[in-house]
Amino acid sequence: MLEKSFGLLYYLKQAKNQKDEKRYVYLRITVDGDRREISTKRQWISNQWNSQLGRANGDNEETEELNSYLDLISCKVYQAKIKLLEGNKPVTAENIKEVLIGKDKKKHFIMEAFQLHNKQMKALVGQEVAPATLTRYKTAYKHVNNFIRWKYGKDDLEVKELDYEFISQFVFWLKTERYCRNNTAIKYLGNFKKVVLECKQKGLLTNDPFLGFRTKRDEVAPVVLTKDELTRITHKQFDTKRLNYVRDIFLFSCYTGLAYSDV
C-alpha cells in the first residue's frame, strides 16, 4: 500500500530537568498525517541548529559528523520503506519505526532449532536415519538444554548469541559436570554442530561459533577377542531368551564384520 504523504524532520527536544543549552536530536516520521518520533541519541546546542533544514549549523568537524549521521539515518528510513513495500506490508510511520529499531525481526532460538531438527529426523527413521542416531541427537538436545540452564540461567538462548565462548564452555561442561570422556563429548558436540550449521545456512546466524575451535579424538585401542573367548561366547547359554538373542547378533557381527551401528 503506497502512502499519500511522507515526511522526515529532525528537531531538538529538551529533556526533563535539562538546564544547559544542549538538546536531544529527534527524528519525526510522518506518513499520511500519522507521526512517530525516534531519538537519534545525539545532542546539539540549540542556538547552532537550523530548524528549517533540520541540520546543525557550523563549519567544523563536529557539525559535519552530526549532519552525516543524520543523513545516514534518513537513508535507513528509505531502506525501511523499501523493505515494507517488498514485503507487501503497509507503509506507516509505526511500521517504519519498528523496522528501524529492529522490532520487525523475528527472534530465533537455539533449542527451538534443535527441536525442529530432531522432529525432522524422527520422520526419517527407518528411511535415512537409524533409531540409534535419533536417540543420540535427543541426548545431545538434553545436554545443550541443561548447559544453557547451568551457565545462563535460562531455558533457551537466541541463535545469534552463539559464539566461541559458548562452544568451548559447552565442551568443558560435558567433561566436568556430565563426566563425559573426551571422545563422547566430541560426539555430542558434533551433533550440536550439525544444528548450528543448519542455522547458519538458513541465514539465522552470521558468524561461525566453531571458527578457531579445535578438538582431537583420543586414540582408543580396540580389545580383540581371542578364538577361545569367541568359542566360549558361542556356547554360552543365558537365562533369558533376550540375552541369547543379543549373543547371536553379536556373533553375527564378529563373523561378518558388520558394524554395530549397521546391525
Task: Give pLDDT, residue 261.
Answer: 65
Q: Mean pLDDT throughout 22-51?
A: 93
- Pairwise pLDDT comparison (107 vs 121), residue with the higher score: 121
Task: Give pLDDT, residue 52.
Answer: 92
Task: Give pLDDT, residue 132.
Answer: 87
Mean pLDDT over all residues of the chain? 91
| Band (81; pLDDT cuts 50, 70, 90) | very high
Determine the Cα–Cα distance for residues 147 and 189; give it in Å rounded to an integer. 12
Q: Mean pLDDT throughout 12-25?
A: 83
2 pLDDT more than 70: no
| Band (106; pLDDT cuts 50, 70, 90) | confident
Task: Give pLDDT, residue 66.
Answer: 95
Convert the pLDDT of each residue in 153-211 to its tens digit.
Answer: 999 999 999 999 999 999 999 999 999 999 999 999 999 999 999 999 988 888 899 99
Task: Give pLDDT, residue 56.
Answer: 95
Of 82, 99, 122, which Cα lies nearest the Cα of 36? Answer: 99
Give the SS3 label for residue 240: coil
| Band (102; pLDDT cuts 50, 70, 90) | confident
> How far, in whole angstroms, is CA 235 from its chain's centroid?
54
Convert the pLDDT of each residue in 208-261 to its tens digit.
Answer: 999 999 999 999 888 889 999 999 999 999 999 999 999 999 999 988 888 776
1 pLDDT more than 60: no
Convert the pLDDT of each residue in 111-147 to its tens digit.
Answer: 999 999 999 999 999 888 988 899 999 999 999 999 9
Q: Which alpha helices (DSSP H) does the chain contain, by range?
A: 61-86, 93-101, 110-123, 131-152, 164-176, 182-201, 227-235, 241-256
Determine the Cα–Cα distance for residues 153 and 201; give it in Å rounded to an integer. 28
Residue type, position 89, single letter: K
Q: Mean pLDDT throughout 92-112?
A: 86
92 pLDDT more than 80: yes
